[in-house]
Amino acid sequence: MTSTPSCQQDTLLTRAGRDPGAYAGYVNPPLFRGSTILARDFETWDDAQAAGGPYARYGRFGSPSIRAFETALSELEGGHASHVFPSGLAACTHVLMSFLRSGDHVLITDNVYGPTRNFADHVLRDFGIEVEYFPPALGAAIGSRLRARTRLVFLETPGSLTFEMTDVPAIERAAHAAGALVAIDNSWASPLYFKPFEHGADISVQAATKYILGHSDALLGAVTCNEHAWRIFQPRIGLFGATAGPEDVNLALRGLRTLGVRLRQHWQSGLALATAMTCHPAVVRVLHPALPGDPGHALWKRDFLGASGLFGFVLGSEQKPVLSAFFGALKHFGIGLSWGGFESLALPVGRPARLAGWHETGTLIRIHAGLEDPQDLIQDMLAALDVAHALGASASNTPRLPPADKP
């Protein structure tokens, strides 16, 4: 793979991971499918064993198109090397299993992605790993939670349900002083709007399903490491048998080329929508770190280069008829899991029951602002909020939505 010259980020997006000269001039890397890879002769086979072991030449261990995506991603993230996985959760779980052993202690931010938390609670604990959650705003005070057995601090900033910000550099300094590594789920900001390695992280996890793919038509995850973490992670990658599909990887390469223009639109639409919602009487609170009044705004402004289209708000009712009327009135927002695609979504979360610091009264709803016209999204959302507000008083004695955590 040819190296990419130093350039601005949008130019890097169009060039990274491409080598037309290696593929008869084709502008995109071809799609490689296959399991068996034949060696040209015995000497070629024998050389491969010395370089990568007996399984170095096999489809499960990558292809030129997979290498192209991994090269592009590591350049965008500013890391040493990357590896692609079949889903974002697979990327998270591989990090946890690769850097932790029985008897270790791991610190995980309390607002972490729900499936990651489920894995920690139901798999890591079963393997004798002590799991401890800490408040996202703890910052440098995390030093009091670190122990001699703490091997990893796992962050997500902002959290993809409640959107609290975390002081990554302060946590990194404390963790590294105690000999622990720092991993961060960077799916919200993508490689464009937060640079984990510039802020001291050792490992970055991406749910490439979200903004990198960008079209809600495939699943993919990725892990990027600095050189020290890669030396630990790389030998363990192949042991789990997880392989990303070639078609999905090619879709991710396609998505990278337009990530810059898409993400700017998501940022603009999401912030405009969040701003328009802040004064509506049906809304208790809007959760968006790019809003000046948000508790995490100062950290976002200091550390981030932009925002995505994902944010939340608290609707001032827990009554099912009100929720039904609100969602029924939305025309441009679908109800569905995931985010990062071209389409707008509104997800009824309820109460994030496992989050210790959550004390809001009302129903948490997560919003993803897609690529529709922002004025259409604003008008649609405000009209639905009007419906919910008008119905709120008459629905005061009806059943409530139960607590739930959604991925």
Residues noted as catalytic:
60, 113, 185, 210
| DSSP string over 219-247 | --EEEEE-HHHHHHHHHHHGGG-----HH
Gyration radius from the chain CA atoms: 22
* DSSP state letter for 346: E
CB atoms within 10 A of CB 8: 8
Phi, psi of 138 (to 5 degrees): -65, -40
Give CA 272 to chain center in angstroms. 22
334-360 burial by CB neighbour count: b if 16+ within 10 A, else e?
Answer: eeeeebbbebbbbbbbbbbebbeebee
Continuous segment of H or E residues that includes residue 85: strand 81-85
Buried b or exposed e, range 255-278, using 16+ CB within 10 angstroms: bbbebbebbebbbebbbebbebbe
Return the sign of the alpha-carbon dihedral for residues 173, 176, 178, 183: positive
Does residue 20 have a cis peptide bond before it, meaning omega lies within 30 degrees of 0?
no
Angle between helix axes 374-392 and 320-329 (nearest 10 degrees) is 150
* Residue 41 burial (CB count, 10 A): 9
Give the 3-state secondary structure of residue 61.
Answer: helix
